[in-house]
Amino acid sequence: MKKYVRSKNSMKVVSLTVPQEIRQKIEEMAETEDRTVSYISSRLLRKGLELCEPTFAQK
C-alpha cells in the first residue's frame, strides 16, 4: 500500500507493509467516508505522529 504524506509542503510516496486486517479497516474507512485509501492513511499517520510527538501538531 502506498501512502502520500506531506513533508515540507510537498507530497512524497511512502510504502508501508501492514497486516491484512489493518489494510481492510483502512479500506472500509475510506469507503465509509468517501475518501481515498491514501487520504485515510495519511490522516492516520499524521494523528499517530501527533500522539507520539505533540510538537508535530504545531508544524
> By residue range, what is the domain housing residue 11?
2-58
Rounded Cα distance, 40 and 43, in Å: 5
Angle at 6 between CA 39 and CA 26, to 5 degrees: 25
pTM exceeding the 0.85 threshold for the entire prediction: no
At 10 the pLDDT is: 65
Give 10-56 pLDDT, tens digit per residue. 667 778 899 999 999 999 999 999 999 989 998 998 898 888 887 77
Tell me how many domains the chain contains. 1
